[in-house]
Amino acid sequence: MKKRRIPRLLHPYKEWAINTLFPMKTVELDQLKFRYLRRDAPPHNPEDFAKGIEFHQRIRRLTGRAAMDIGANIGSYTLPLARRFKVVTAFEPNEVHCRLLRLNVSLNKLRNVRVYEVALSDTDGTMPMYIRSGGATSLDEKHYGLAYDRVFPVKTVRLDDFLSKFQGLDFIKMDAEGLELRILQGGLQLISIQMPTIALEVHRPRIAHNGSCTCSVCDWLRGLGYVIDVTGESSSVGDVHWVWAKGGLANPSASADCSLM
């Protein structure tokens, strides 16, 4: 039987029809299953991974008690961290991504992950989230100089709001698309007491000085006693550099226990 060819006139609508009728795809990486939107890049997009490869590889080698994933998206880091940490807490303000994140946690039967559909900042309240027609979102209207089509409010909380609930914090991964400093400032007490290792994707130019970075994020962390290591940088789509911040000993008065929030 001959295959029916789609008329050339309909070709522009083919991708739209596939994305509408079958919006989700499934991929398996390192024995973890991920569902993601067909219109979006897959988890651990090879192009993104190549830009910050040392940053990503260091995260993959970590183990510990409790970890936080700030800007968790659909769980590209949350799920692998859940296999190597006793407790993982993920924050994702985008409603669609948060649903996929919860779906992926459930799909992999991970019982040590808690997901919060909120944005972290330096104040409690609300802030606008900007959305492009293709699905990209940001809490910064001028992020990468892109134009956004829609805006809606998302709830914001401070990291310090979780201080009494979350002890034994060993690691924070953060990809907040330009809000890194505000999130850190909103978590000053928690961070200064527990001094977790922090891996950040900093969405601003690296400022090199005497072999180190003196951007506002790195300077803030250095002021708390962190040792800063810039593991890579890119300017292909906006300016980004990857920072590995290693703290000293945590305040001995902090509890060594960790618990689900």
Has residue 160 got a pLDDT over 90?
yes
Mean pLDDT of 221-229: 94
In the DSSP assignment, the letter for residue 251 is P
pLDDT number for residue 162: 84
pLDDT number for residue 255: 39
**Distance (Å, whole) CA 120 – CA 154:** 10
C-alpha angle 160-252-243 in degrees, rounded to nearest 5: 55
Convert the pLDDT of each residue in 172-211 to its tens digit.
Answer: 999 988 889 999 999 999 999 999 999 998 877 777 766 6
**Distance (Å, whole) CA 191 – CA 169:** 9
Return the SS3 of 232.
strand
- Label residue 254 by pLDDT band (50, 70, 90): very low
**In the CATH hierarchy, which top-level class contains the domain 42-246?**
alpha beta
Cross-sheet strand order for the sheet of 240-246: 113-116, 85-91, 64-70, 169-174, 197-202, 240-246, 227-234
Cα distances from 222 to residues 168, 177, 186, 212, 248, in angstroms, run 22, 21, 16, 11, 11
Rg of the chain on CA atoms, in Å: 20
**Distance (Å, whole) CA 30 – CA 247:** 29
pLDDT number for residue 16: 54
In the DSSP assignment, the letter for residue 165 is T
Q: Which of 138, 116, 142 minimizes the C-alpha distance to 129?
A: 138
Has residue 221 got a pLDDT over 90?
yes
Whole-number percent of the chain with pLDDT over 90: 46
- β-pairing, 125-131 vs 150-158, is antiparallel
Cα dihedral across residues 154, 158, 161, 163: positive or negative: positive
Asked if residues 30 and 43 have their Cβ atoms less than 8 Å apart, the reply is: no
What is the pLDDT of the chain when averaged over all its residues?
Answer: 81
Convert the pLDDT of each residue in 12-52 to its tens digit.
Answer: 555 555 456 557 888 888 899 998 887 777 776 555 656 56
- Label residue 125 by pLDDT band (50, 70, 90): very high
- Of residues 108 and 18, more confidence is placed in 108
Please count the CA atoms within 13 angstroms of the CA of 95 that sit on its side-chain side: 8
Instruction: Give the end-to-end CA distance of the chain in Å, rounded to a whole number.
Output: 59
Asked if residues 92 and 175 have their Cβ atoms less than 8 Å apart, the reply is: no
Buried b (16+ CB within 10 A) or exposed e, 150-172: eeeebebbbbbebbeebbbbbbb
| Beta-carbon contacts of residue 76 (< 8 Å; ≥ 6 apart) | 34, 43, 44
